[in-house]
Structures are given as structure tokens and as C-alpha cells.
Amino acid sequence: MSYKWLKWLILWIPTVTIGLWEYLRHTFLLPVISMDLGNVLAPVFVFLITLTLLRALFAKLEQTQETLQRERVVKAAFEEREQLARELHDGISQSLFMLSVKLDKLERSQIDSDTKQTTEEIKRTVRHVYDDVRQSIANLHDAPLPADMSWMQSIHHLTTEMEQTSGIRTSVEWHVQEGVLSHKQKVELLAIMREALMNAQKHAKAEQIMIRGESETGSGQSTSHFRCSIIDDGISVSADKLFVKGKYGVKMMQDRAEAMGWSVTVQPANPRGTIVEIIGGSAV
């Protein structure tokens, strides 16, 4: 029986039951059942019928809830697989392709100097693949934002991980008011910040990174906006090189931001380095 039918039955059957009972009682049962007993039996009948219908309704609701829960689990697993696929394609697959090209070059090389140079390039590529694999494994093991970890603890955990794996000094200036970001928004923002830090580590050759967050309350105190900046002092990358074929880091950040209604910009810093800026708003 569908949810719609159960809803209508719960509405009409108790009403029809009490009406039918009163008709039968006054028409046929008055010589057999006293008025007081009839008044007691009426709510008992209504209660039993309503309880029977409600049990069916609750069973239907529980079944629907279980179905939704299963769908959420499947969707979450699919999103994790899609994210991992993007990370593997962006880092490991490209590095392995470059490694195969350099091996072909080494096979054709006949000069010792060329062989040595190609060997060094292969070693660097292998180290790069190793770093990508280690980072991907760390992303799988580490929850993006555990429920028992505060927002600032999550940011400091991310920066500590960056310093330990790359040696890049990372500092944080966070002034976004508590309550501006929901839990889901914090998870997505942390993922964007992680991707920006990984890009600075792999491509910018930065020595220092600054994470800065600011919040601003709009007119009428109805909407709060935030601005998150990740600033490094490494090699600046021109905008046209960020979207060439095979580059997915900035695209991944933009896709996450657009899903939340935010914007992401990447531009050179002055005098050197790169600024990744995430701007968004959230109703409070």
C-alpha cells in the first residue's frame, strides 16, 4: 500500500468507523449494550483501527528512510571514487606517462651524458609519483573534517601535514566568524584548500604559504560572506597555463566551489608567487 493511500485511510477510516458504530448502536444495539458501555467501546474501536493503520504507515516510513540511507551511502562512495580518480589522473597517470616517455628516450640514447641526464629525470619522476601516491593514500585515510575535530584544528592539521611532507612553512590567519560556514561548507572549503596547497607543493616550489580567512556581514545582517586566500611565494603561473589539457587541479577547485555557489580565482602575487582566492556567502 502506498504512502498516499495510508494517509487518506488514516484520515477517513476512524471517522467512518465512529459514525457507523454510533448508527448501529442507536439503531440495533441499544437493547443489548448500555449507553455507558457504548461510550467506552467507541474510542477503543477508533484507537485499535488507528493503531493498525499507523503501524503500516510507520513501517512504510522506516522502509523509505532505509532506502534513502542506502542511496546516500552509495552516492558518498561514488563521490569518493570520483575524487580519487581525478587525483590519480591528475598526478600519477601523467607522471607514469612521462616516465614511459623518458624510458623510451633512455633506450634510444647512445651518449653517456644523455643517459645520465635522462636517468636523473626518471629518478625525479619516480619521486614525484611516490609523493602523489603517498598524498592520495593520506587523503583516503584522513577524514576531511571529523565530527570531533574543530575547524581550526582541521586547518592546523592540514598545515602541519604540509610542513611535514614538503618542508614548506605554512601560517594561518583566520578571522571568519563561527557560524558563517556550515559543516558541509567547511568540508568542501578544506578540500579546496588541500588542493591549493598540493598545487603549491608540486608546481610552485614555494618556501612559505599563508592561509588567510576573513568574513564580512552584508546589509541587513542577513547574509555573511567569507574570503579565503592561499598565498605562496613560489613560481607564478600564468592564467593560460592553468587550463591547458591535462591540468585538473584548478578545474577540481572550481567544480567544488561552483557546487557551493562560490567563486575561485587564481592570479599571480606581487612580487612573486600565486594567490588562490575563494569567495562565497552563506545565509545565517
Cβ–Cβ under 8 Å, residues 81 and 140: no
Total-model pTM: 0.51
**What superfamily in CATH does domain 144-284 come from?**
Histidine kinase-like ATPase, C-terminal domain (3.30.565.10)
Summarised one tens digit per residue, pLDDT across range 7-52 is 777 777 777 888 888 888 878 887 888 888 878 888 888 888 878 8
Q: Three cell numbers at 77?
A: 562512495
Summarised one tens digit per residue, pLDDT across range 125-151 is 676 666 666 666 555 544 444 444 578
* CB-CB neighbours of 45 under 10 Å: 14
- With a CB cutoff of 8 Å and minimum separation 6, the contacts of 126 are 99
* CB-CB neighbours of 122 under 10 Å: 17
CA 167 – CA 200 distance, rounded (Å): 12
CA 201 – CA 234 distance, rounded (Å): 9
Cα separations in angstroms, 240 against 236, 243, 266, 279: 12, 6, 11, 21
Summarised one tens digit per residue, pLDDT across range 86-104 is 666 555 666 666 676 767 7
Residue 253 has pLDDT above 50, yes or no: yes
- With a CB cutoff of 8 Å and minimum separation 6, the contacts of 24 are none
Residue 227 has pLDDT above 90, yes or no: yes
CA 284 – CA 224 distance, rounded (Å): 7
Q: Domain residues of the chain, as ranges? A: 3-70, 144-284
The mean of the pLDDT values for the chain is: 76
Residue 110 has pLDDT above 80, yes or no: no
CA 220 – CA 198 distance, rounded (Å): 38
Using CA atoms of 77, 184, 200, 228 in order, give the dihedral in degrees to the nearest 10.
170
Cβ–Cβ under 8 Å, residues 90 and 249: yes
